[in-house]
Amino acid sequence: MQQRQLGAGGPLVSALGLGCMGMSEFYGPSDDEQSMLTLARALELGIRLFDTADTYGLGHNESLLGRFIEQGGPARRQQMVVATKFGIVLQAGQYERRIDNSPAYIRAACEASLRRLGLERIDLYYCHRRDPAVPIEEVVGAMADLVAAGKVGAIGLSEVSVPTLRRAHAVHPVAAVQSEYSLWSREPEGGLLAACAELGTAFVAYSPLGRAFLTATVDTAQLADNDFRKHNPRFAGEAEAHNRQLVAALGGFAEARGLSNAQVALAWLLNKAPHVIPIPGTRRISYLESNAASAGMALSADEMAWLDRLFDPAAVAGARYPEAGFAGVERG
């Protein structure tokens, strides 16, 4: 597995991480035993960055990861870089959320995450979403206090604008910015990727497979009732039909090269810039193994340009979230 640096002076991590969210919610039923086997296989494949958040499954996801770490003991812990997040407050059974960035909440959320994970230190701690009513300097100041106290190794931000990143970085080095980035979600190319490179900040790309739509394996008619994609604009009606044409073209490109759609989509990200670290999520070992094989796959300049043109942002139909999902996302 290739390695990439998690921020200037930060640890080396695998070029691909593992997003753990789907092991707890949003994508239909999950199975803890299957998830534990997938986590173990990820380590065997050289994956070192494991991404969770306090809100995933209302704490279940952190607890699951904590049990996995505990079962493997100190040797397993030493192999893993654990990232988690604070800031989104959910109620059971509801998609709507509120955002809390207050210093008191940050401190309390960190302690709760440490308990669920069974750790003394969180390797990378993100502000998951921004509350514009709380100055970013105040947010980062509280996070920097956690670093000074030894409870957090490095800090990150999620779904922020370039000005917010620069203001935050002036207070304390920001090791990573995490935002949605994939063939069909290209907003970071509007300046955020370049700003991260300038500041020595890693860019962690979540949903790099378009919530699996880019893989051509999703049957929207069969999605479970608790699968949030049923309410995602890109997965519905005319938008879905239009986007399936793009995915079909991607499939032809991949097949001609003996690759899967997912492998092409991940290779495209990895070839975009050396500071990009995709974190595809999966509960299945077969998908995990296929994804891991994409690390190190080279795409030519002509192939990259063809994929860029195919998934020109103007060619993609539908917003990447329903409106409630944009709470705390800094757009533009």
State CA 155 to chain mean position distance.
15
Which of 56, 125, 126, 181 is an active site residue? 56
- Phi-psi bin for 233: left (phi > 0), alpha (psi -120 to 50), beta? alpha
220: β partners: none
251: β partners: none
Say if residues 271 and 299 touch (Cβ distance below 8 Å): yes
Closest by alpha carbon to 2, among 322, 324, 275?
Answer: 275
56 catalytic, yes or no?
yes
Run of H or E residues at 313? none
On the CB side of 269, CA atoms within 13 Å amount to 33
Determine the 3-state secondary structure of 203 from DSSP. strand
Quote the DSSP letter at residue 15: S
Angle, helix 60-79 to helix 32-44, in steps of 10 degrees: 30
Say if residues 206 and 179 touch (Cβ distance below 8 Å): yes
Q: Which residues are catalytic?
A: 56
